Structure 1
Amino acid sequence: MADQYDVIVLGSGPGGYVAAIRAAQLGLKTAIVERELLGGICLNWGCIPTKALLRSAEIFHYMQHAKDYGLAADNIRADLEAVVKRSRGVAKQLNQGIGHLMKKHRIAVHMGTGVLKGAGKLEVTGEKGSETLSAKHIVVATGARARDLPFAKTDGKRIWTYRHAMVPPEMPGKLLVIGSGAIGIEFASFYNDMGAEVTVVEMLDRVVPVEDADVSAFLEKALKKQGMTIMTGAGVESIDVGASGVKAKIKGKDGKVVESDFSHVIVAVGIAPNTENIGLEALGIKAERGIIVIDDYGRTSVKGVWAIGDCTPGPWLAHKASHEGVTAAEAIAQELGNAEVHPHGMNRKNIPGCTYCHPQIASVGMTEAKAKEAGYSVKAGTFPFIGNGKAIALGEAEGFIKTVFDAKTGELLGAHMIGAEVTELIQGYVVGKTLETTEAELMSTVFPHPTLSEMMHESVLAAYGRALHI
């Protein structure tokens, strides 16, 4: 007799485990299926352990610049093995925490690989052999993996994905990073701060190309100042792996191909959804290039099957996956007769993005260029860190905050930041957008002094020619 549940979640990443918890909170008999580690990629091999690495690099950077703060620190050195050990310890602690949450909410955990086997059935092959689970609803939360380049297959020795870069067998001497999205730039920042000679190659005409053009320009200047080589409008044509290093042929913006030597390569050119061999085709679930098509609540084209997170349309971010998990769980509970829940569909315009390089980047909503392309008459305001007392006191006077408004209605269309701790500041604008705020509410809000958040206020004022400190 198959185990019968109200909800089975396939995958325990930040989307899957949150969906399971919310379903259990709503009184649904819930199970979760995981083939590797509770918490998925984000907790074990992504968001969290990378931030631990970056924190170590940040501390190392500050120690090297102690004299800027009137302090003395001599004989500073980095112990890569210890840095990695700390990062893995953080991941392990949180992995165990997810296990505790599953027990707390009485969620059945089935370790193994799951395959959809028809309406409401999931076959799990793992530590208990093969078993068939049944549920009224199944949520697919299988996530994604790093995408390979056909001429640069990762081997864990010389050519790395983000997983290899988190547990490096050795410190790179000369590192090539292919791709300047969040993952590529974060690892470039980490290894540069740790002492590697870093080159970043980006196919498009600017780094972090999804961000506002002004942010991209500022970041490129900052990274070059830190000693990185940045090549935009460029492409890696071939890679030849040897015993002691890598030879890469790189075609520059001018069309010339130059061969350079590197000790290691990180490939960060996007992700591929983990949707092969999980039974989508047999059920006729609609997908486009492996990405499962869903509505704003997570419903797929087949009744009773839902999907969330990185195996669905982007942005491919942990917090987006978690929010989708809650939404799907509430929609399922509603379908099962719970009249007390009122799920709201995902509004992708209000999903913030954060990149934890040095300096940090954070944004939400439209860039100035995208707003103009969409036909808006725009008012945009920018305020620099150098005009903020707290930033100067922190020794972090590089960066800016930019806000974009609809000139006709005052609607906040987007906000874009680069500088110290902006990943913590962005949520103020996210709340504002969710509440459908205009410039009037933001202008009349009292911001505490002295704080970095005052720059948010000043940026809004600047959009309307009212900035006080520039």
Structure 2
Amino acid sequence: MDETDVIVIGGGTGGYSTALRAAALGLEVVLAERDLIGGTCLHRGCIPSKAMLHAAELVDGIAEARERWGVKASLDAVDWSALTATRDDIVDRNHRGVAGALARAGVRVVRGTAALTGPRSVRVTAATAAQGAPVDWTARRGIVVATGSRPRTLPGLTPDGRHIVTSDDALFAPGLPASVLVLGGGAIGVEYASLHRSMGARVTLVEAADRLLPLEDADVGRHLTRGLKRRGIEVLTGARLETAEPHEAGVHATVRTSRGEAHTLDVERLLMAVGRAPVTDGLDLAAAGLTTDERGFLAPADWSRLETAVPGIHIVGDLLPPPSLGLAHASFAEGLLVAETLAGRTPRPVDYDAVPRVTYSSPQTASVGLSETAARARAGDDAVVVNTMPLTAVAKGMVHGQGGMVKVVAERISASGSTEPPAATAGRILGVHLVGPHVSEMIAESQLIVGWDAEPADVAQHIHPHPTLSEAVGETYLTLAGRGLHQH
């Protein structure tokens, strides 16, 4: 039985960030991965999808140039093979970069499926006997479980990689479909609906909740829906798939709304984006004295250390239940926390309220902190003040012409029961919500504001450049601080 300081099971964002940080702190690390280093995010999710969404943005730009700005441009065709080749090159370069970083850090990467054999031991089995016999490892400091998640599917719908696809294989299905039914109005479903619409498909987006992005602020869902409908996407909320019949050319589906309306659709592709499920198969959690909860998550006993009830076994990434967010950048933070814990340090726990959440559709959405509803539930209606400003109220927002908003939710420091923001009524910022072009690149400022418990008066002293979309953010804080110029 071989021995090391730390064994990491899973080489996705949470796993490899844990391994890199632990190695940097002088620990000997073994990383077991049965597929590809980088995991879902790098190979099937975040990176390839954002590459495709950038291409979609370029396509949309041609249409805007022609229809809005008088630039006589036209789109001849989309060369799918060239587009996917560029996407795959970006993924490959990132993959080689991560693998190189692990090698330089001295992390030993072991290929194979890892199973727990005790609270401090793991067996790694290669895919075939020709690749070697199983190897047993023990960990002096601890084990980190970071096996990620897979797409959930719906009963009776079997993905075939062509007409019925999940979010993991949608990017790799052959060609561009002429019509798509997207099931699920969370971030993944919205992004894929946006992408396919940009590429010319007729798109229907179905969400069972009463609004898109149901976990976000209600105004975010409202502005997003408005933007998607303006682009020609049919949005059905409060709706569920009733029937789906695959055939040679696609899928015949019926969707029924909560009002009883039936929508019959014939589409070339049905895309399931109905959430993700933790991956624990093959881990043999029971051998280490661990069990999952009823949803399949592996919950920590100590959130400050992300440590299970079995001392020395830690969790990062998509295996964690809420308040963890199942986001790659949250996994990075979790990996740093666990690595530093295993090295004997006492890092700060992850502040999940201060983790930004982004949807890379057109329009984009970006949020950090509490929604208005959550803030009122936590602090009370009279303890919250809200200010909202449309992006079209600033010149750069008019230039982009996509609508959108800035919404700030703050503590009330005034005795007034009014929801209007008179002079200096707002204290600590509880949440910031953005909808519009490029807001994914604007949310970092708000992350610092929420994470550092800043107040509008703190932010209002800092000057936002003109003309930019960010000055709408600055103006929102000026108003809350009682110094508004264009908003009162």
Structure 1 position 132, deviation (Å):
1.1
Q: Distance in 2 between matches of 1:468 and 1:48?
A: 40
CA offset digits 1:399-430 (Å, max 9, x no partner): 11110000037111000000011111111111
User: 176, 184, 187: which is aligned to 2:181?
Assistant: 176
1:459 to 459, 470, 476: 476
Q: Please say if residues 114 and 282 of structure 2, whose CA atoms lie closer than 8 Å, have aligned partners that are also in contact.
A: no
Equivalent in the alignment of 1:447: 464
Partner residue in 2 for 1:124: 124
CA separation of 1:75/1:188 partners in 2, compared to 1, >3 Å: closer, same or farther?
A: closer
Tell me if 1:371 matches 2:384: no
Secondary structure in 2 matching 1:142: coil
SS in 2 for 1:291: coil
Counterpart in 1 of 2:420?
none
Match of 1:412 in 2: 429
What do residues 36-82 of structure 1 show as CA deviations (whole Å, max 9, x unaligned)?
11111101111111000000000011012223345332343222222
Per-residue CA distance 1:209-248 (angstroms, 9 max, x = gap): 1111111111111111111111110100121111111111
Structure 1: distance between partners of 2:119 and 2:371: 43
Moved more, 457-466 or 213-222: 457-466
Instruction: Give 1:426's aligned residue.
Output: 443
- Structure 1 counterpart of 2:326, which letter? W
Counterparts of 1:316 and 1:290, CA distance in 2:
14
Most deviating of 324-333 and 130-139: 130-139
1:4-15 aligned within 5 A: 4-15=3-14
Task: Show the counterpart of 1:133.
Answer: 137
Q: Does 1:385 align with 2:395?
A: no
CA contact (8 A) 1:403 1:412 kept: yes
Q: Does 1:280 align with 2:280?
A: no
What amino acid sits opposite 1:327 in the alignment? L
Quick check: 1:54 aligned with 2:58? no
Q: CA deviation at 1:464?
A: 5.2
Classify the secondary structure of the residue corresponding to 1:344: coil
TM-score by length of 1: 0.95
Counterpart of 1:344 in structure 2 is 348
Distance 2:451 2:412 in 1: 19
Contact kept? 1:379, 1:464, Cα under 8 Å? no
Q: Deviations over 1:180-233 (max 9, x none)?
A: 101000000000000000001110001111111111111111111111111110
CA drift of 1:375 comes to: 2.9
Shift of 1:374: 1.6
Q: Superposed, which structure 2 residues align to 1:256-295 within 5 Å?
A: 256-288=261-293, 289-294=295-300, 295=303
Structural RMSD (CA):
1.5
Q: Which residue of 2 aligns with 1:322?
A: 332
Rounded Cα–Cα distance in structure 2 between residues aligned with 1:439 and 1:259? 50
| Contact 1:286–1:300 under 8 Å retained in 2 | no
Q: Return the alpha-carbon distance in structure 2 between the equivalents of residues 356 and 209 of structure 1.
A: 16
Counterparts of 1:467 and 1:199, CA distance in 2: 41
- The 8 Å contact of residues 64 and 76 in structure 1, kept in 2 or not, is answered as no
Separation of aligned partners in 2, 1:139 and 1:343: 16
How far apart, in 2, do the equivalents of 1:15 and 1:228 lie?
34
The letter for the 2-side match of 1:386 is T
How far has the Cα of 1:277 moved from its partner?
2.5
Per the alignment, residue 418 of structure 2 pairs with none
Is 1:310 aligned with 2:314? no
C-alpha contact (below 8 Å) 2:41/2:328 kept by paired residues: yes
Matched AA of 1:189: S
Contact conserved, 2:307 with 2:313, CA < 8 A, in 1? yes
Matching residue of 2:39: 40
- The aligned counterpart of 2:417 is none
Is the partner of 1:198 in helix, strand or coil?
strand
In 2, Cα distance between equivalents of 1:18 and 1:311: 15
- In structure 1, stretches of 5+ residues that fail to align are 335-340
| 8 Å CA contact retained: 1:396, 1:420 | no
For 1:383 and 1:258, the matched residues in 2 are separated by: 36
Contact 1:286 1:301 in 2 (8 A): no
1:397/1:156 CA distance change after superposition, 3 Å: closer
Q: Give 1:353's aligned residue.
A: 357
Runs of 5+ unmatched residues, structure 2: 414-425
Q: C-alpha separation between the residues in 1 aligned to 2:479 and 2:373? A: 18
Amino acid corresponding to residue 374 of structure 2 in structure 1: K
- CA-CA distance at 1:3 after TM superposition: 2.3
In structure 2, the partner of 1:161 is 166
Paired residue secondary structure (1:177): strand
* Residue 199 in structure 1 maps to residue 171 in structure 2: no
For 2:346 and 2:253, the matched residues in 1 are separated by: 54
**2-side partners of 1:283 and 1:135: how far apart?**
13
Cα 1:238–1:74 change in 2 (3 A) is closer
Opposite residue 351 of structure 2, the aligned amino acid is N
- AA matched with 1:413: L
Letter in 1 for 2:171: M
Aligned residues: 462
